[in-house]
Amino acid sequence: METCMAATCAAATSGPTASIFLQLMQTLLAAQCSLGSDKDYPADRSDEVAGSDIEFDFVIVGAGSAGAVVGRRLAEIDDWKVLLIEAGNNPSAVSDVPAIFLHIQGTPEDYAYVVEPEKFACHGTTTGLCTWSKGKALGGSSTTNAMLYVRGNEQDYNEWYRMGNEGWSYEDVLPYFRKSQNCQDPHRDCTEQGPLSVRYFNYTRNPGYDILKEALREFNVPVLDAINAGKFIGFGDTQSTANNGRRMNTARAFLSPIKDKRNLYVMKSTRADAVLLDGTRAVGVRMTLKDGRSIDVKASREVILSAGSIASPQLLMLSGIGPKQHLREMGISSVVDLPVGKNLQDHITYFGIHVAYENPNVQPQSPMFLLDEAYQYLMYNRGLFASVEYDMQGFVNVTDPNAKYPDIQFHHAFASYRSDVLLKDFLLRLYIHEDIVNAITDILKDKSLICPVPSLLKPKSRGELRLRSQNPADPVRIYANYYTEKEDMETILRSVRFIEKLLKTKVFKRYGAKLHHLDIPGCRHTEPNSEDYWRCSIRHMSMTLFHYVGTAKMGPKDDPTAVVDSRLRVHGVQGLRVIDASIMPTVTSGNTNVPTIMIGEKGSDMIKEDWSVANVKDEL
């Protein structure tokens, strides 16, 4: 901290006013320096590994939402040498600030994958293409995401179990959610003391928040005291993986407490290029260091891929494990023929619903608004910058109002009259075309806005990943295939009709609320509120929620679509597991970061069980 402060305000000053000013500046700089630093994370031991013949018990590729968990849990066994390989570096200080999470997109902490052209989505972006953000740092996408703590519902995991995955029912996985978390929730028993802080955001709500809640109650939609508390239909505030106004990424939660353990070796800015195979047994990993050198490391027990739903299947295919025909086309010898890269799923999200309303009590934000908020954050860890302001969630079934489980998740953005700075910045960070962004923010010249953002929880459409070449540095080709199954678009359309019905409540009528039809250049040939308009709007304003899963599907050996078994071992290969979101047979009903952490916890215990270390179930 002293070093940070010494770099500024070095000039001598005199007088009481100057002294007070200097003291204020030093206080603010000290607060800024309290954000994340390299000292928070394990040291890079790349040179130590590259300059020795160390044989590791386990080599883990990827230190993200799952990989950091696996690294922590395996390193708890002092006799095991554990190597954790990460393509990125330490998280930046900026990533600690919740409100500006979208500003990480397009930086060195983001892979920023570009998806192949989509027929039914992303037409309203600056390039007409979908862009998929993915974290490239210790903590992976837990360093870049919106931090919302959503487990999904019991049906998600019971479905996995019914698909032949023993040990993955809701009852089986619930202890692993609890094992990770350290939470505070007055509405349920929440005494867990795990490493992952789970808290509610704390900030002053936009007035539209209370208006929406009042309308929901009038519409007989449950307003929940807590999400994740056993009721799966309703609206409420979501907890976050944050603490005291700072992001809690998985590297900070799981690796920082053991950063000095000598049996945990972390290599940063290191790209894994292939799994080394001896016949059909994984024996190590080939990697490229930040200086360009290529080295091999050996694993005496297992290689574990936790590189995520894009990089893990890429690494498998580069190693000869994947669809035989596709590998042949790439000039790669097939070792095991498996449907790697298939079964790709994502939560498609629609940003085209905008409810304009009048609220004469709202005053425009002052020109100093953001500076005031920055001061509140740096000094007191509170205010706008300490939150994402999109944590009000809604889970509804727009197809069957009597259903117990949802098919749509609503996120919400709020913007007040003549206060467009934050909304405009948010939309531009999603790569939405500036003409469309201006059409949205123009509404704020006269009205306030509530923007319900529906996400399709259980898409029927399936995408696919394919290699671009044999070069590990080349990104894969991503075919998201959004809305290729017609029922997916029909469900999103029903979410629009749900909002239309909600606007008929007395509450919204009192505020003159109306559904605004955007002037989208590509949809000017349609009539507002017509079926054609909404379908065109959906094609332009639908994009990812960054929840890609399923590309190394978990399933029994007789399932021709499966890549790993229920213990996350790759079919037909010894000593190789995949432990990340790619193993999900179907995407969970909500944000996927916390289920991925759960997979890391459960996969780690499976490894301990299989190597007869301890009766780990007793620890739960």
Tokens of 571: 């079919």
Question: Does residue 33 surpass a pLDDT of 70?
Answer: no
CB 503 within 8 A of CB 486: no
Q: What is the mean pLDDT of the chain?
A: 91
User: pLDDT band for position 441 (50/70/90)?
Assistant: very high
In whole angstroms, what separates CA 225 from the centre of its chain? 24
Count of Cβ atoms closer than 10 Å to residue 530 Cβ: 11
The whole-number pLDDT of residue 11 equals: 37
How do strand 354-357 and strand 514-516 relate by DSSP bridges? antiparallel
Tell me, yes or no, if 540 is annotated catalytic: no
pLDDT tens by residue, 315-332: 999 999 999 999 999 999
Close Cβ partners of 119 (under 8 Å, ≥ 6 residues apart): 483, 484
CA angle, 135 then 299 then 256, to 5°: 40
Q: Is the pLDDT of residue 617 over 50?
A: no
Residue 10 scores a pLDDT above 60: no
* pLDDT single digits (tens) 143-188: 999 999 999 999 999 999 999 999 999 999 999 999 999 986 665 5
- Residues 30 and 38: their CA atoms lie apart, in Å, by 16
pLDDT of residue 516: 93
pLDDT in tens, 468-505: 999 999 999 999 999 999 999 999 999 999 999 999 99
pLDDT band at 2 (very low <50, low <70, confident <90, very high): very low
Taking the alpha carbons at both ends of the chain, their separation in whole angstroms is: 39
Residues 6+ apart with CB under 8 A from 249: 68, 91, 95, 138, 139, 142, 143, 241
The pLDDT score that the predictor gives to residue 34 is 65
pLDDT over threshold 60, residue 250: yes
CA distances from 600 to 274, 539, 619 (A): 22, 35, 16
pLDDT tens digit sequence for 53-82: 899 999 999 999 999 999 999 999 999 999
Tokens 């539209």, located at residue: 208
**What would the DSSP string read from start to end of 160-200?**
HHHTT-TT-SHHHHHHHHHHHEEE--TTS------SEEEB-
Does residue 200 surpass a pLDDT of 90? Answer: no
Rounded distance between C-alpha atoms, residue 214 and residue 415, angstroms: 18
**In this predicted structure, which of 21-25, 34-38, 115-119, 217-221 has the lowest mean pLDDT?**
21-25
Q: Which of 326, 516, 517, 547 is catalytic?
A: 547
